[in-house]
């Protein structure tokens, strides 16, 4: 009974993914979005997108559209967000600009924050000087603030004068001294930090915008966010965020800090340069920079969104069973934060391909044919294409492989590899193939099965092995040394076409021999 009551009094699950539009979203960000989304779905909650664009100097045109487009391709669909709407909008921080200052002022009034007039140049100077004295981390904190220019150290009338004068200022949090901040991370357990290690972070900038720290707390609170699921890089500032909630007198949401995605070689956080350097995409979709550079994406490489998502889900999470192939729907049912691992995960491009292959196999021939027509511009009738898909699917990783590797099903070969002929063409080859040509011409029902019957009878009759005829038959008809069953291929091409190709092949080889 107690449990039921607790459950009923729990707040509804509302989570947000809060990217900054400073460039394309990389796969680490997509994974964070995915875990938020899955957590929301699993708990009948709401998944929200909020754009954190409080740094006007880092704004990148097109980035926000990219983020929304990429998430959409992934199937990570928000219930509330920019362009979608919702009760708690607007969902872009620059559009919420006016609401932050009163909150910052409120903290100053309550002695939880203060005005600081030090210029960026003065602060740089301070840090440089400290560094020169072998103190690499000078901080604006409870001991140093007394010797800086702020509303705590300056006389009240001067503060008033500066404010009225319109002097530029920032608002900093007044971090208390020697206090243990404790919070329970849903993935890592209890984390404790003493406030002596925390500095007086800027909450409100001199340009009239809040910093991430303030905006994040105000928005999470006003948007009724229940769980903050974000990357591990935020763990060090989480205690400060807890202090802010406390300063406002608000209940803090639950926190979960996700392990980082590491690069496949060596160590370190996966970065956008790693992709091109190591030959795999780090972005969900292609991104063209203003300078004309291209960062490649999974979508354009031919990855299926579900394969991409499946792979990402398993980078730092597992279901506790041996099942590895999941659809988005299935992930929504089994995902829990308890099964997210603590350590960083190295990204594995090889396994990514395997996920893709597995998901491709799961797509029906019919759907794949549609995909090839609609997205890859295949110019074949649907019926033939479906047959081609059926023949080629097992040896394809990407949809387009079916078209490129099965090109001979669509058009006649134009040349025959000389070195293959060199190796495989024997003295009796011409005779064997001509004999086979005659047999082919005699088949009335040109099905894979009957062709195979006739073929077997023929090699028995000529007293040779399969290899003496088959490889060359394949080479002359398809121009390739490998592929699906030649009997199936023959049936698909049809008697007339096979015979013509074989004749062409025989003449071509003859001319090569001269």
Partner RNA sequence: GGCCCAUUCGUCUAGUGGUUAGGACGUAAGAUUUUCAUUCUUAAAACAGGAGUUCGAUUCUCCUAUGGGCUGCCA
- For the sheet with 180-185, list strands across it: 46-49, 14-17, 227-231, 254-258, 180-185, 189-194
94 near RNA, rule: CB under 7 A: no
In the region spanning residues 263 to 302, those forming contacts with RNA, defined by CB under 7 A, are 264, 266-269
* Minimum distance of RNA from residue 110's CB (angstroms): 21
189 near RNA, rule: CB under 7 A: yes
Of 47, 298, 314, 492, the residue at the interface with RNA (CB under 7 A) is 314
Judged by beta carbon, residue 12 or residue 349, the one nearer RNA is 349
* Minimum distance of RNA from residue 354's CB (angstroms): 4
219 near RNA, rule: CB under 7 A: no
Of 60, 152, 235, 334, the residue at the interface with RNA (CB under 7 A) is 235
Distance of CA 405 to the CA centre of its chain: 28
Residue 261, C-beta contacts closer than 8 angstroms, at least 6 positions apart: 27, 28, 31, 269, 270, 315, 316, 344, 345, 347
Per-residue tokens: 136? 């690499």
Judged by beta carbon, residue 233 or residue 510, the one nearer RNA is 233
In the region spanning residues 242 to 261, those forming contacts with RNA, defined by CB under 7 A, are 259-260
Of 470, 495, 503, 504, the residue at the interface with RNA (CB under 7 A) is 470
Of 158, 348, 365, 370, the residue at the interface with RNA (CB under 7 A) is 348
The yes-or-no answer on residue 329 being catalytic is no
In the region spanning residues 70 to 89, those forming contacts with RNA, defined by CB under 7 A, are none
Q: With H, G, I as helix, E, B as strand and everything else as coil, classify residue 110.
A: coil
359 near RNA, rule: CB under 7 A: no
| Cβ contacts of 358-367, under 8 Å, gap ≥ 24 | 358/307, 358/325, 359/304, 359/306, 359/307, 359/310, 359/325, 360/304, 360/307, 360/393, 360/396, 360/397, 360/398, 360/399, 361/393, 361/394, 362/325, 363/304, 365/389, 365/390, 365/393
* Minimum distance of RNA from residue 242's CB (angstroms): 13
139 near RNA, rule: CB under 7 A: yes
Of 65, 95, 125, 233, the residue at the interface with RNA (CB under 7 A) is 233
Residue 437, C-beta contacts closer than 8 angstroms, at least 6 positions apart: 499, 502, 503, 506
Of 163, 362, 410, 482, the residue at the interface with RNA (CB under 7 A) is 482
Q: Are the beta carbons of 40 and 298 closer than 8 angstroms?
A: no
* Minimum distance of RNA from residue 427's CB (angstroms): 20
18 near RNA, rule: CB under 7 A: yes
Of 324, 332, 370, 500, the residue at the interface with RNA (CB under 7 A) is 324
**Separation CA 514–CA 510 (nearest Å):** 7
Count CA within 13 A, CB hemisphere, residue 3: 0
Of 97, 269, 272, 503, which is the active-site residue? 272
Q: What is 132-168 written as a DSSP string?
A: HTT-S----STTTGGGSSBTTTS-HHHHHHHHHHT--
**Separation CA 225–CA 254 (nearest Å):** 9
Of 48-56, 241-249, 286-294, 376-384, which segment contacts RNA by CB under 7 A? Answer: 48-56
343 near RNA, rule: CB under 7 A: yes
Judged by beta carbon, residue 64 or residue 139, the one nearer RNA is 139
Per-residue tokens: 8? 């009923």
Of 12, 83, 85, 168, the residue at the interface with RNA (CB under 7 A) is 168
In the region spanning residues 404 to 463, those forming contacts with RNA, defined by CB under 7 A, are none
**Residues catalogued as catalytic:** 272
């Amino acid at each position: 009974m107690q449990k039921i009551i607790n459950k009923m009094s729990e707040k509804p699950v509302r989570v947000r993914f809060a990217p900054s539009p400073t460039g394309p979203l990389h796969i680490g960000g997509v994974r964070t979005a995915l875990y938020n989304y899955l957590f929301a779905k699993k708990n009948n909650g709401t998944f929200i997108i909020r754009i954190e664009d409080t740094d006007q100097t880092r704004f990148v045109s097109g980035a926000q559209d990219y983020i929304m487009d990429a998430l959409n391709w992934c199937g990570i669909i928000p219930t509330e967000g920019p362009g979608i709407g919702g009760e708690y909008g607007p969902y872009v921080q620059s559009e919420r600009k006016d609401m932050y200052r009163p909150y910052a002022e409120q903290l100053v009034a309550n002695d939880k924050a203060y005005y600081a007039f030090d210029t960026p140049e003065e602060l740089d100077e301070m840090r440089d000087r400290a560094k020169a004295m072998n103190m690499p981390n000078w901080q604006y904190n409870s001991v140093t603030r007394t010797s800086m220019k702020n509303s705590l150290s300056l006389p009240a009338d001067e503060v008033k004068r500066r404010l009225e004068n319109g002097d530029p200022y920032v608002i900093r949090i007044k971090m208390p001294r020697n206090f243990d901040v404790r919070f329970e991370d849903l993935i890592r357990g209890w984390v404790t930090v003493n406030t002596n290690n925390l500095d007086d972070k800027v909450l409100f900038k001199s340009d009239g915008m809040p910093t991430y720290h303030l905006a994040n707390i105000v928005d999470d609170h006003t948007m009724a966010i229940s769980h903050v699921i974000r990357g591990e890089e935020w763990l060090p500032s989480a205690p400060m965020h807890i202090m802010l909630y406390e300063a406002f007198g608000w209940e803090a949401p639950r926190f979960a800090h996700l392990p980082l995605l590491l690069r496949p070689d060596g160590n370190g956080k996966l970065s956008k340069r790693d992709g091109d350097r190591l030959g795999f995409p780090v972005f969900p979709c292609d991104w063209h920079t203003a300078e004309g550079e291209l960062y490649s994406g999974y979508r354009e490489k031919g990855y299926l969104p579900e394969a991409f998502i499946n792979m990402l889900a398993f980078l730092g999470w597992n279901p506790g069973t041996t099942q590895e192939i999941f659809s988005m729907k299935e992930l929504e049912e089994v995902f829990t934060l308890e099964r997210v691992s603590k350590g960083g995960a190295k990204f594995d491009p090889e396994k990514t391909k395997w996920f893709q292959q597995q998901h491709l196999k799961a797509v029906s021939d019919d759907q794949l044919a549609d995909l090839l027509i609609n997205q890859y511009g295949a110019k074949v009738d649907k019926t033939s294409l479906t047959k081609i898909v059926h023949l080629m699917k097992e040896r394809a990783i990407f949809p387009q492989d079916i078209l490129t590797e099965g090109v001979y099903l669509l058009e006649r070969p134009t040349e025959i590899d000389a070195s293959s002929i060199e190796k495989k063409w024997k003295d009796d080859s011409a005779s064997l193939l001509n004999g086979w040509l005659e047999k082919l011409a005699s088949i009335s029902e040109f099905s894979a099965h009957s062709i195979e019957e006739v073929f077997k009878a023929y090699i028995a009759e000529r007293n040779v092995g399969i290899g003496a005829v088959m490889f060359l038959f394949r080479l002359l008809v398809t121009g390739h040394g490998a592929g699906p069953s030649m009997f199936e291929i023959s049936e698909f091409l049809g008697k007339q076409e096979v015979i013509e190709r074989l004749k062409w092949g025989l003449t071509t080889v003859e001319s090569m021999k001269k």
